[in-house]
Amino acid sequence: MSTVAAVGRPLPAADGRLQAAGAFLRQLTANRLAFLGLVIILLLALAALLAPWIAPQDPYQQISSEAMQPPSRQHLFGTDNVGRDTLSRVIYGARVSLFVGVTSMILAAGIGVPLGLLAGYFGGWLDTVTMRAMDTLLAFPALLLAIFIVAVLGPSLSNAIFAVGIIYIPAFARLTRANVLSLREKEFVEAARCLGASDGRIMRHSILPNCASSLIVQFTLGVGYAMLIEAGLSFLGLGVQPPTPAWGQMVGLARDFITIAPWLITYPGLAIFIAVLSFNFLGDGLREATDPRLRGSRLQATHR
């Protein structure tokens, strides 16, 4: 009598999740720009993590005899006005930019998502007050509001993260509220209410997971814009303070030498451009991979 061992056989639910994850990855990698953005972001993250080992020199070491040297074999990106290696400072600057971008978006999502969830689910005066507060924040230009917050609190890395996080709270709050308004009357939410689920459980287990895809896209795009705003703050001297290397700060310090040492502004400027563009590519790819309508239009365009 033979028996068939079922040990190690995936459960149907787990198998469905694996198939969905595989389909999502195929959709994402099919978009060449999104895949390119993902690869560049991974390389930047790897460079930031391994900076002490891959940077050719100490980014803080000042060698006055080697000041303002153009790119060469010894200094691939040249040196700045006090003799510091520009390549090493660009590599270490990736740490600051990625850290500010990710942590500020975590702060923005951590405040904006609960606000939008509560406002959209309960409505009434809570919705009105929350959305008018978000509209007030949106009435100010993002960079000017960030400058105001940092000017009040003082220039530092932590205050720059706080400022960038605050200005992106409305984006998460409004997006979450819009999703909740379309989901709270769905059949599966009504079924959860009929089964006696509390409002908190419905929001956590029925509504919020269905908002995850759009929030991930917003988070990814937001990281790129946060890096851009941080670079602007550092350029103005309101972000990361010397001698800590940061891309925006390097561009700001190099503006006085742009005619005699253009490499000082070129390489950190290119780093900002490539990093922000990569996050935009990845965010657009994630949006396309999670939106069936965009996937359909792309398939139609491919077959034409």
Distance CA 235, CA 252 (A): 4
Residue 15 lies in a domain: no
Helices (H), 139-207: 142-153, 157-167, 169-183, 187-194, 199-202
Contact at 8 Å (CB) between 109 and 101? Answer: no
Residue 18 lies in a domain: no
Residue 174 one-letter amino acid: R
Distance CA 73, CA 243 (A): 25
> Average pLDDT per run of 10 along the chain, which is 304 residues long?
47 57 69 91 95 93 88 91 92 94 96 94 92 93 91 91 95 94 85 84 88 91 94 90 90 89 93 95 86 53 48
Closest among 296, 255, 246, 259 to 48, alpha carbons compared: 246
Q: What is the pLDDT of residue 24?
A: 63
Could you identify the residue written with the tokens 């942590």? 103
Residue 87 lies in a domain: yes
Residue 299 lies in a domain: yes
DSSP state of 304: -
Q: How many separate domains does the chain show?
A: 1
CA dist 174 to 130, 181, 285, 304, Å?
10, 11, 22, 37
Closest among 298, 301, 278, 273 to 26, alpha carbons compared: 298
Closest among 84, 90, 96, 91 to 51, alpha carbons compared: 91
Residue 240 lies in a domain: yes
Distance CA 160, CA 163 (A): 5
Q: pTM for the complete prediction?
A: 0.85
Distance CA 245, CA 239 (A): 11
Domain that holds residue 251: 30-56+74-303
- Say if residue 141 is preceded by a cis peptide, omega within 30 of 0: no
Q: Which CATH number does the domain housing residue 188 bear?
A: 1.10.3720.10
pLDDT digits (tens, 9 = 90+) for 86-133: 999 999 999 999 999 999 999 999 999 999 999 999 988 999 999 999
Distance CA 146, CA 138 (A): 12
Residue 13 lies in a domain: no
Residue 275 lies in a domain: yes
Q: What is the pLDDT of residue 4?
A: 46
Q: What is the pLDDT of residue 294?
A: 52
Residue 39 lies in a domain: yes
Q: What is the pLDDT of residue 291?
A: 67
